Amino acid sequence: MPKRQVEPFAWLAFSAGGVMAALFVPMLLFLFGLAFPLGWISAPSHPELLDLLSHPVSRIVLLGVCVLALLHFAHRFRYTLHDGLQLKAMTGVIGAACYGCAVLGSVAAAYLLVIYL
Amino acid sequence: MTGVPARPRGYRQQPSLWWWMHKRSYTLFILRELSSVFVAWFVLFLLLLVYAVAGGAERYQSFLDSAANPVVIGLNAVALAFVCLHVVTWFNLTPQAMPVRVRGRRVPSAVIVGSEYLALAIVSAFVAWLVVG
Amino acid sequence: MAESITLEVTRYQHDVDDEPWTQEYDIPLRENWVVLDGLNHIKDRLDGTLSYRWSCRMGICGSCGMMVNGEPQLTCAAFLFDYAPGPIRVEPLANFPVVRDLIVDIGDFMEKLPRVSPWIVREEEQPTSEGEYLQTPAELDEYKQYSMCINCMLCYSACPVYGIDPDFVGPAAIALAQRYNLDSRDEGAAERLETLIHPDGLWACTYVGECTTACPKDVDPAGAIQRYKLSAAIETAKSYLLPGRES
């Protein structure tokens, strides 16, 4: 039996996050990052957006996107630092920092989307 | 044979810290990997939006105002470019990493990539319809 | 004398030189000559001290791999005309220690290769009287591409991960592991997984994809590694979900 390891799960989460980021991020980022601020399209009113975000399905989908996208980031950025800057000696620190950020972000996302909203 | 050789038997060149600058494909690879930073930025931006919307109409308006700041718009434009790089590279590499079989026959790469873009179009249209109304 | 082209060839002798240096040779530029023909011309006519490896000069033996203008190439397949007017830089394969001139030490790969058991593993050999192991064309098709590897080391030379971290098992070894994993006659997948699930195995690969670009035999090591990652991840997940199961 293969030795118990976390790396395969980190990779699965990275892949799932890569798919989520590819599917959901372009349109959301285009709308809220460029189209609304530049006035190409008028931004939704506050009640409309509150209504949309408060829907249980929106909360679940957005939470899924946030958590998986952060795990995607943590995995990829860890290897970018590891190989790009040749920091093999600091693997542990880099891993802890990257996944630490992802976990903190995920907790914040869960709090905001499930409780605060 | 006795004695220790005067020098090491092979010459090994130390890899340069700038190896990813030496070749176009390596540079593109590093840019692709750095797209993850902008994915993380998007999550932060989205959470700030959720926080603002939950906080009431006034805070939502101030979020929209700060999103209209040229620096933020510039950052988001760069982020969108990197996310597009992520989308293109991710979709292009999928058939290589994950051969799909239907009834024992390998699905051609073009069909796999095409259906990924179709999925992106459907999700994007649905999200736009939900948000813009 | 016909038109000529300059080869900038790396020279190194471990007991004389502190580091490699470059020597220029002018050789005839002929339409049907490859870089290897140029090196043979130098060795025969200009400078007998130049050392390099070659054997079949037809892309089968995999021994004449060198860096040609910075790209890993089989020098028997790199036509001088494609690099005209030159000069052409000929260096030993990157990422390996240089033994002499254009010869590199591939001992590291030779040590890693047997770790992935690149042969058919059977729990029990079927007696000869039962005949051969039959395989359908579709089953052959599964692994045939990966069996084309000639161990030329171009993929190792193209791989920045291997360059940075020589402990990485590397593209060809993983592709060869996959070649046997995908063979319907083989039963050694679990054994190979043990080796490759190590951090220096599969997971060190970040899918730069240059190994596949460099491969002269269209083996596609990058694809093999990604496919292997998926099956390794699924196997590991199963071992958690079904703890009693022996793989």
As a whole number of angstroms, the distance between CA B62 and CA B76 comes to 17
Within-domain flag for C62: yes
Do both C149 and C233 map to the same domain? yes
Q: What is the pLDDT of residue B3?
A: 53
| Domain membership of residue C91 as a residue range | 4-104
Mean pLDDT for chain A?
A: 92
Query: In this complex, do B7 and C15 lie within 8 Å of one another by their Cβ atoms?
Result: yes
Pairing of strands C4-11, C21-28: antiparallel
As a whole number of angstroms, the distance between CA C218 and CA C135 comes to 23
Sign of the C-alpha dihedral computed for residues A50, A52, A57 and A58 taken in this order: negative
Do both C99 and C112 map to the same domain? no
Mean pLDDT for chain C?
A: 92
> Which residues neighbour C83 within 8 Å (Cβ) at sequence distance 6 or greater?
C5, C35, C68, C69
In DSSP terms, which residues pair with C13 in a beta bridge?
A: C100
Query: In this complex, do C97 and B29 lie within 8 Å of one another by their Cβ atoms?
Result: no
Measure Cα distances from A70 to A29, A76, A78, A99 in Å.
Answer: 16, 10, 12, 8
In DSSP terms, which residues pair with C5 in a beta bridge?
A: C27
Within-domain flag for A22: yes
Angle separating helix axes A91-110 and B24-54, nearest 10 degrees: 30
pLDDT in tens, A80-111: 998 888 888 888 899 999 999 999 999 999 99
Instruction: List the single best residue of B19, B34, B43 to mutate versus A (max A Cβ within 10 A).
Output: B43
Q: What is the pLDDT of residue B9?
A: 67
With beta carbons less than 8 A apart as the criterion, state whether C25 and C34 touch. no
- Structural domain ending residue among the three candidates C83, C104, C125: C104
Nearest CA in chain C to A8: C233
pLDDT in tens, C180-197: 999 999 999 989 988 888
Query: In this complex, do B11 and C14 lie within 8 Å of one another by their Cβ atoms?
Result: yes
In DSSP notation, C21-63 reads EEEEEEEE--TT-BHHHHHHHIIIII-TT-----S-SSSSS--
pLDDT in tens, C83-141: 989 899 999 999 999 999 999 999 999 999 999 999 999 998 888 898 899 999 999 99
Do both C24 and C129 map to the same domain? no
Within-domain flag for C124: yes
- Structural domain ending residue among the three candidates C71, C104, C137: C104
List of chains touching A (3+ CB pairs within 8 A) = B, C
Within-domain flag for C246: no
Within-domain flag for A63: yes
In DSSP notation, C71-114 reads EEEETTS-BGGGGTT--EEEEPPTTS-EEETTEE--HHHHHHGG
Q: What is the pLDDT of residue B101?
A: 82
Kindly list the structural domains of chain B, giving each domain's residue range(s) and its CATH number in brackets, ordered by start. Answer: 24-99+106-132 (1.20.1300.10)
Residue among B84, B117, B112 at smallest CA distance from B98: B112
Q: What is the pLDDT of residue A4?
A: 58
Query: In this complex, do B42 and A25 lie within 8 Å of one another by their Cβ atoms?
Result: yes
Do both C98 and C124 map to the same domain? no
Within-domain flag for A75: yes
Do both C165 and C200 map to the same domain? yes
Sign of the C-alpha dihedral computed for residues A27, A30, A31 and A32 taken in this order: positive
Within-domain flag for A4: no
Show residues of chain B in contact with A71, CB under 8 Å: none
Within-domain flag for A1: no
Q: What percent of chain B has pLDDT over 70?
A: 93
With beta carbons less than 8 A apart as the criterion, state whether C76 and C150 touch. no
Shortest distance, CA B131 to any CA of chain C (angstroms)? 35
Q: What percent of chain C has pLDDT over 90?
A: 77
Q: What is the mean pLDDT of residues B96-109?
A: 84
As a whole number of angstroms, the distance between CA B50 and CA B33 comes to 27
Inform me whether the pLDDT recorded for C158 exceeds 90: yes
CATH number of the domain encompassing residue C71:
3.10.20.30
CATH number of the domain encompassing residue A54:
1.20.1300.10
Cα angle C36-C37-C38, degrees, rounded to a multiple of 5: 85
Q: What is the pLDDT of residue A2?
A: 46
Pick from B64, B123, B133: CB nearest A36: B64
Nearest CA in chain C to A11: C233
As a whole number of angstroms, the distance between CA C56 and CA C44 comes to 17
> B8 falls in which pLDDT band (50, 70, 90)?
low
Shortest distance, CA A1 to any CA of chain B (angstroms)? 24
pLDDT in tens, B60-93: 999 999 999 999 999 999 999 999 999 999 999 9
Tokens 């399905």 appear where?
A57
Shortest distance, CA A22 to any CA of chain B (angstroms)? 5
Inform me whether the pLDDT recorded for C244 exceeds 70: no
With beta carbons less than 8 A apart as the criterion, state whether C29 and C4 touch. yes
Nearest CA in chain C to B32: C208
CATH number of the domain encompassing residue C172:
1.10.1060.10
C95 burial via Cβ count (<10 Å: 0-12, 13-18, 19+) = buried
As a whole number of angstroms, the distance between CA C146 and CA A77 comes to 30
Q: What is the pLDDT of residue C125?
A: 86
Show residues of chain A in contact with B57, CB under 8 Å: 46-47
List, as own/partner pairs, every contact residues C102-105 make where C-beta atoms lie below 8 angstroms and the sequence separation is at least 24, other chains included: C102/C9, C102/C10, C102/C39, C102/C50, C102/C51, C102/C52, C102/C53, C102/C66, C103/C51, C103/C52, C103/C53, C104/B10, C104/C153, C105/B9, C105/B10
Nearest CA in chain B to A71: B40
| Domain membership of residue A51 as a residue range | 9-39+46-116
The model scores a pTM over 0.85: yes
Within-domain flag for C247: no
As a whole number of angstroms, the distance between CA B83 and CA B34 comes to 10
Query: In this complex, do A26 and B124 lie within 8 Å of one another by their Cβ atoms?
Result: yes
CB contact C15 to B (< 8 Å)? yes
As a whole number of angstroms, the distance between CA C113 and CA C122 comes to 19
Instruction: List the single best residue of A14, A19, A29 to mutate versus B (max B Cβ within 10 A).
Output: A29
Q: What is the pLDDT of residue A3?
A: 53
Show residues of chain C in contact with B30, CB under 8 Å: none
As a whole number of angstroms, the distance between CA C235 and CA C193 comes to 9
As a whole number of angstroms, the distance between CA C231 and CA C19 comes to 44
As a whole number of angstroms, the distance between CA C91 and CA C95 comes to 12
Do both C139 and C63 map to the same domain? no
Do both C128 and C191 map to the same domain? yes
pLDDT in tens, C36-66: 999 999 999 999 999 999 999 999 999 999 9
> C247 falls in which pLDDT band (50, 70, 90)?
very low
Within-domain flag for C136: yes
Pick from A29, A70, A108: CB nearest B83: A29
Pick from A38, A105, A112: CB nearest B73: A38
Within-domain flag for A106: yes
With beta carbons less than 8 A apart as the criterion, state whether C120 and C180 touch. yes
Do both C18 and C123 map to the same domain? no
Do both C56 and C40 map to the same domain? yes
Do both C86 and C186 map to the same domain? no
Shortest distance, CA C28 to any CA of chain A (angstroms)? 41
Inform me whether the pLDDT recorded for A1 exceeds 50: no
In DSSP terms, which residues pair with C28 in a beta bridge?
A: C4
Do both C100 and C64 map to the same domain? yes
Pick from B7, B29, B98: CB nearest C208: B29
Pick from A2, A4, A88: CB nearest C165: A88
- Number of domains forming the structure of chain A: 1
Show residues of chain A in contact with B34, CB under 8 Å: 80
Query: Strands, E, within chain B: which ranges?
Result: 101-102, 105-106
- Number of domains forming the structure of chain C: 2
As a whole number of angstroms, the distance between CA C152 and CA C160 comes to 17
